[in-house]
Every structure is written in C-alpha cells, then in structure tokens.
C-alpha cells in the first residue's frame, strides 16, 4: 500500500559559525544604525564592523601591543579627539532605563527569528548612544594614585561621561543601563564578593570584603556582574600575555596603563561597545535559530503518520501552513485502517492561523484517531470531538470544520459526514469528470451549536476511483495573477478560485494523465500560480486512490 506525505514549509538556514556570524550580524547592526540614526551613530557602528575580527584574532594569537589593535580602527575614525585634561566625574546616575538595555531585554525575552530583527535590536542601542552620549564606568583602586582618564568626546562630539568606583560593591551601584563601557583595572584589590553588599562600619565607611583571588578572577567577577556591558581591561604594559588572556576570558579589548590618551581610549571605548553589540546580536541570532530548529523538530513529530497497513488504497497528502516559517497550522488530517478492514479518513480546519490553533488541531486529530480505534464513527464520533474542542479551545468563538469518510473493506462504498466543511472531490472510473460529493445533508462546524447532529450519508464509489479531501485554503485563493486585494482594473476585488475553479484544474490535469502525487503537485502549483504567489491560508489536501 503506497503512502506519500509531503509537508511544505519555509527552510531554516543553519546556524552561523564563528567569526562569520559575528561579522555578518555586526554588518546588519551597522546597516540598521546608518538608516535609523545620525551620521555619528553610523560611524560608531562602522568602527565596530571594521575592527570586529581584528581583536577576535588578537585574542587567539596573543598580540602584545594594545596600540596595534586600535590602529585598525583609526582608518574608520573621523572624529578629531585630542587630550583635554583630566577626567571629569559626573557623579550623576540617571534612573531611567536606556534604550540599549530595553532593547537587549526585549530580545532576550522573545524570538528574533532573523538577522534583521537582531540588527533592529542593536540599532536601538546605538540610537540611545546617539541621544544620550557614551558613559564610561572606571573600576580601579590603585594605591599609587587614581587612573588618569583624559577628557574625551564621543563620535557625535559630546563629552564622554565618566563614573568611578573603588570596589565592586560601588560599581554595582553605579552600573545602570545607561553605562556603555567598563574600564576595569586588573590590579584592583579589596573588592566585595559578587551579590554581597558592603556592610557599614565605623564612621559610615563600607567594609571591604576579602580580595577576589587573581586578576583574571576579578575580570570574571565583573563579566558576571555586567553580562551586557562592554569591558576594557587595563593592565601594566609589562605583561602583554596577561592582557591578551583577558580578551580570551571575555573582555572586548585591553589597554596599557602607560599608554592612555584621549584619542586611543575614545577609539577603544567605541570599538568595545560595537563589538559587544555584535556579540550579543550573534548570541541572540544563534539562540533564536536553535529554538526554531527545536520547534521544527517538535512540529514535525506532531504531523500525522497514516496507518493503512493491509489496505489496497493509495494515499498521498500535501500540507502547507499559512504562518511564516511554521510547520504546523490550524489544518489537520489523518487516515487509519481499523481491524475490521474499514479505512477512515479525516480532514479538518480550526479557525485562525496561530500556534494555539495549530495545537488545537493536533489535539483534535489525536482525539479523532483514538475515538476511531475505539469503534466510534459518524455522529457519535463528531459529538465527542465537539466536547474535546469545547474543553480545549481558548475562547467560545473558536470552532473547527471537519470532513470524515469511512470506506468499506471492499472499497466500493463509503459513509461521509460533513461538519461545516467543503465536500470532497470524487472521480469515478471510465474517464468520468470530477464532481463534488453531495453536501446538502451536512451539519454545522464543531463548537457552534451545543446539541448539533451530523448525519452520515452513504455514497457508492465503484470499482476504481479517486477521492480528494481538502481544506478551504485550497479554494479561497484568488485568480488573476495579482496579489490579493483590489485589482488594478477598476478597483474591483479579484474573484476567489472556489470549488468550481478547483474542479476545472483537477479535470484538466487528469486529462493530461496526472494521478496521485503528480496530481496533487500540479493542482497546488496551479492554485498558487493563479493566486499570484503563495497562499495566505493553511492548506491541507489528501488523496485516496483505488485502481
């Protein structure tokens, strides 16, 4: 007994790998920034793209000169920034969340689904920078004296705001969402342990907790404290290997204490911010695609597997959900052969196109199969299915149409029940033209009337025949080769294909010799061509043949 099922859906591209994904995502972010923000923001995004791979390579190779890493950014740096004296501590901590933080949080909660969505998220962060300017948090406690942070201007000419923390407890208080970058002195000592606030001691001064072991442990501590912020490691110029190791641990770049100047630091900050955005975008995109692949495997597992062992009937099916990048829609179907030799076929349609409707369709299909194997059919089966629908639907407005057919063991007759569903297409032997089975004795859709009845109509099939069951997505496409909506000619709405149009397509294709899978493929192709593109509704079609 040949069985063919084909499920059509949009392909999922494989997850990006390594530096290619980071570069591609960073480029998308820069494009979104250039379109949505001022030239200054676009220049900032371009810096991150231009040097995005340079520091990644440096982290692996262990480049020993911090200035060499930032020379690559100089080619893209059009800001005229010079040393302008000592650092200025603004001392102010805005309470409002920045657009950057909000965009990242929104991306973490939802499924971006594509590189364009992730680019939009990172573009919002760049816009926040354009509106409010850059903010740098310096974490250092050098006994020889504080780190001298020169006055800097960001890409748009605004002064870079600087905050200074002497330990991690103070840094945690100052680390708000409007901070774009952290400059961490790896020689920091006397820091509080993560998540433990400093206690008040005598004179109102905070009590410093034991040191975090090792300079890189301090860096890991900060990375855990600020997972969405760019981090620059500041270290002694005598130990370049340790600086490179800091990048491998997770810092976006490193700087040597004796080489700080306004131009170098400004460039490094803007590069680190863009690199961090690219890293976050790559992570969001990869996680999104992994979730999409997991969902695809789950949905594919929920598609029906016809059980027709021992039957002489040939089975073929086509299924295409209306939702973008989905494998399941509100349409559902199934076919089984029971122990008495009767072949039962069913096709249905839950109103709507979302994931809730798809889930309800799966529940109804599984319930139908269980009830069929329990020996129910016709009105009794549909009445129980309506109870399942009423208990499982999200609202009282949800309903489902259904068509069931039970074919006698000899294959020459069948019982048909319609619950608000289009009547099956039937083609008899001897070159007979396709026609619709009688539908004047059907009942209402499931979920509309509490005490509805669904009469079962007996039909004769003959020796050789074809029976095509379908959902309304196949016949509600438009004709005329233009997108759905008002036509260009006179502003009139284009006609729907309808059952008569479907009959014409099937008749023409069968006259050309198409049968089985070839008939379904040709019919689906013709309907899409007449519609002027893909159909917007879910489509399910099954075909049973007896030679």
DSSP string, 487-533: -TTTTPBPPB-HHHHHHHHHHHHHHTT--HHHHHHHHHHHHHHHHTS
Angle between helices 262-302 and 115-132 (to 10 degrees): 150
Instruction: Give 28's strand partners.
Output: none
- Distance, in Å, from the CA atom of 477 to the CA atom of 530, rounded to the nearest integer, reads 8
**10-residue averages of pLDDT along the chain (547 residues):** 52 40 40 38 37 35 34 37 34 33 33 42 46 79 64 73 87 87 81 42 39 67 89 83 88 85 82 88 89 76 88 95 78 96 97 89 96 96 97 95 97 97 94 90 94 95 96 90 49 81 96 95 95 91 96
Contacts of 480 (CB under 8 A, 6+ apart): 487, 494, 495, 530, 532
- Distance, in Å, from the CA atom of 210 to the CA atom of 122, rounded to the nearest integer, reads 38
Q: CB-hemisphere CA count at 13 Å for 499?
A: 16
Cα distances (Å, whole numbers) of residue 305 to 261, 333, 336, 342, 521: 68, 10, 9, 17, 20
| Residue 465, helix vs strand vs coil | strand
In this predicted structure, what is the pLDDT of residue 94?
34
Contacts of 476 (CB under 8 A, 6+ apart): 496, 497, 535, 537
In this predicted structure, what is the pLDDT of residue 6?
58
In this predicted structure, what is the pLDDT of residue 167?
87
- For 198, phi then psi, to 5°, come to -70, 135
The beta-strand segments (E) located in 153-193 are 161-165, 181-185
Alpha helices (H) in 353-450, listed in sequence order: 355-373, 378-392
- Distance, in Å, from the CA atom of 150 to the CA atom of 265, rounded to the nearest integer, reads 8
- Distance, in Å, from the CA atom of 435 to the CA atom of 424, rounded to the nearest integer, reads 9
In this predicted structure, what is the pLDDT of residue 423?
97
- The number of residues making up the chain comes to 547
In this predicted structure, what is the pLDDT of residue 542?
97
Give the containing element (helix H, strand E) for 334: strand 331-337
């Amino acid at each position: 007994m040949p069985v063919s099922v084909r499920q059509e859906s949009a392909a999922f591209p494989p997850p990006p790998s390594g530096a290619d994904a980071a570069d591609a995502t960073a480029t998308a972010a820069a494009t979104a920034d250039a379109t949505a923000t001022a030239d200054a923001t676009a220049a900032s995004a371009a810096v991150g793209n231009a040097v995005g791979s340079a520091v990644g390579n440096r982290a692996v190779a262990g480049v020993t000169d911090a200035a060499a890493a930032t020379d690559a950014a100089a080619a893209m740096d059009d800001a005229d920034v010079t040393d302008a004296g000592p650092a200025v501590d603004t001392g102010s901590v805005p309470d409002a969340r920045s657009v950057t933080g909000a965009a990242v949080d929104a991306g973490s909660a939802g499924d971006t689904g594509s590189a364009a969505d992730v680019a939009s998220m990172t573009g919002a962060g760049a816009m926040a920078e354009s509106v409010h300017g850059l903010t740098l948090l310096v974490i250092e406690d050098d006994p020889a004296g504080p780190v001298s942070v020169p006055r800097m201007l960001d890409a748009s000419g605004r002064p870079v705001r600087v905050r200074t923390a002497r330990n991690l407890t103070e840094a945690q208080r100052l680390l708000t969402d409007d901070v774009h970058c952290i400059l961490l002195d790896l020689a920091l000592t006397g820091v509080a342990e993560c998540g433990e606030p400093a206690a008040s001691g005598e004179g109102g001064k905070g009590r410093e907790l034991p040191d975090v072991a090792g300079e890189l442990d301090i860096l890991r501590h900060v990375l855990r404290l600020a997972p969405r912020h760019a981090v620059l490691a500041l270290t002694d110029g005598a130990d370049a290997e340790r600086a490179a190791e800091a990048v491998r641990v997770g810092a976006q770049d490193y700087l040597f204490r004796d080489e700080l100047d306004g131009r170098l630091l400004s460039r490094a900050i803007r590069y680190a911010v863009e690199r961090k955005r690219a890293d976050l975008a790559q992570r969001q995109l990869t996680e999104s695609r992994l979730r999409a692949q997991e969902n695809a495997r789950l949905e594919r597992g929920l598609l029906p597997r016809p059980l027709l062992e021992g039957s002489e009937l040939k089975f073929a099916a086509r299924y295409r959900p209306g939702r973008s990048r989905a494998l399941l829609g509100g349409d559902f179907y199934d076919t089984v052969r029971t122990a008495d030799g009767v072949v039962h076929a069913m096709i249905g349609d839950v109103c709507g196109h979302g994931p809730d409707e798809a889930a309800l369709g799966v529940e109804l299909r599984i319930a139908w199969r269980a009830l069929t194997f329990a020996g129910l059919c016709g009105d009794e089966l549909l009445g129980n299915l309506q109870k399942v629908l009423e208990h499982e639907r999200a609202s009282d407005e949800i309903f489902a149409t259904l068509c069931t057919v039970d074919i006698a063991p000899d294959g020459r007759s069948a019982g048909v029940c319609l619950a608000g569903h289009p009547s099956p297409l039937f083609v008899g032997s001897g070159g007979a033209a396709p026609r619709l089975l009688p539908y004047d004795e059907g009942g209402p859709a499931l979920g509309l009337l509490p005490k509805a009845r669904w009469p079962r109509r007996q039909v004769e099939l003959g020796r050789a025949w074809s029976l095509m069951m379908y959902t309304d997505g196949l016949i509600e496409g438009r004709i005329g080769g233009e997108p759905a909506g008002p036509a260009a000619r006179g502003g009139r709405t284009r006609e729907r294909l309808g059952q008569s149009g479907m009959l014409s397509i099937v008749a023409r294709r069968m006259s050309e010799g198409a049968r089985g899978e070839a008939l379904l493929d040709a019919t689906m192709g013709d309907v899409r061509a007449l519609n002027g593109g893909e159909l917007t509704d879910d489509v399910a079609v099954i075909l049973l043949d007896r030679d």
